[in-house]
Amino acid sequence: MHVTLGGPAAALAPEALAETGLVVDEHLEVVGVVTGWADDDTIERLRAIEGVTVEFERGVQIAPPDAPLQ
């Protein structure tokens, strides 16, 4: 599953995340977010790290070009 992690910078250290089995997609340092791929067990381990929040990536969809509302 594609997940997004937030939390203090120390909690998002790449080594700590790698130990849990997270496959890091991107580390967005400026906004303090890590995105990556994780299975259910990995998500459990991630959630156990103090300060880390794990949320599932969501799709965003705007209307087609000719729709009445944009």
Give the footprint of other proteins on this chain (CB under 8 A): 2, 4-6, 25-26, 28-33, 35, 53, 55, 57-65, 68-70
- Per-residue tokens: 5: 């992690």
Residues 6+ apart with CB under 8 A from 13: none
Least Å distance between CB 64 and other proteins?
A: 6
Q: Which is nearer to other proteins, 44 or 53 (CB)?
A: 53
Least Å distance between CB 19 and other proteins?
A: 22
